[in-house]
Amino acid sequence: MTLLVIRHAESVENADKYNGFYQDPRPYSGAAAHSISRTIIGLTVRGFRQAQWLAEVLPGLVGPEPHVYTSTYRRAIDTAAIALPALPDGWPQQTALLDEQHYGEATYMTKRELYDSYPELAEDRRLRKHVWTAPGGGESLAEGVLNRAAEFAALAQAELQQSRTVVAFTHQTAAVALRSLLELRTLPEILAEERKGRMPNAAILHYELHDGRFTRTRTTTPPI
């Protein structure tokens, strides 16, 4: 029984974030920034090609009738639509459990603007990013994202009693939380690895479920 955790294909934010999305001062409110991130940000041409690559490799990995989930963000939904276009009715299902970390009022703020606006949060943001809680209704990686990831891991384990494969199209921060849970490793340990080499867009993490425990077997990365 297999769980595949897939980071969405390259988005326009991934490709050009420092030239377009992070302006100082930020020209829009935190709520508007979060709405842009969730509903507007789509795939680049490269991201479209990565999703097409997924469409080539996934049929050989998922088998018949996989249970497929995406976050509620457009870039994950679009990746899944291109990668697995012929799913039965009702799939994929969208779930906020796989959403990107919610950065609240800090969404698209530069570090200077964030530290000037919320100086009391600066130390955690610099030194303990996993426990830093984004201001204005945001969440931390160590609580909000990790708790959601735990719910999804439990859901996936239950779904694997009905299907041979569960597929999750998600985001880098949610993938970090899932890795911590599924691999029984601490968040700082996973984040240290991410600093050396972030999980690529469209990469696939392979997990097998045996005796109630997930084991990571391999990682497949796109050639694009």
Model confidence pLDDT, tens digit, residues 190-221: 999 999 999 999 999 999 999 999 999 999 99
Q: Place 34 in a pLDDT band, splitting at 50, 70 and 90.
A: very high
Q: How far apart are CA 167 and CA 66, in angstroms?
A: 7
Q: Is 211 left (phi over 0), alpha (psi -120 to 50) or beta?
A: left
Predicted pLDDT of residue 142: 97
Predicted pLDDT of residue 21: 85
**Is residue 110 within 8 Å of 40, Cβ to Cβ?**
no
% residues pLDDT > 90 (the chain): 88
Model confidence pLDDT, tens digit, residues 127-164: 898 999 999 999 999 999 999 999 999 999 999 998 89
Q: Place 17 in a pLDDT band, splitting at 50, 70 and 90.
A: confident
Model confidence pLDDT, tens digit, residues 164-191: 999 999 999 999 999 999 999 999 999 9
Chain mean pLDDT for the chain = 95
In this predicted structure, which of 19-23, 69-73, 91-95, 169-173 has the lowest mean pLDDT?
19-23
3-state secondary structure the chain: CEEEEEECCCEHHHHHHHHHHCCCCCCCCHHHHHHHHHHHCCECHHHHHHHHHHHHHCHHHHCCCCEEEECCCHHHHHHHHHHCCCCCCCCCEECHHHCCCCCHHHCCCCHHHHHHHCHHHHHHHHHCCCCCCCCCCCCCHHHHHHHHHHHHHHHHHHHCCCCCEEEEEECHHHHHHHHHHHCCCCHHHHHHHHHHCCCCCCCEEEEEEECCEEEEEEEECCCC
Using the predicted structure, report yes or no on whether residue 30 has a pLDDT greater than 80: yes
% residues pLDDT > 70 (the chain): 100
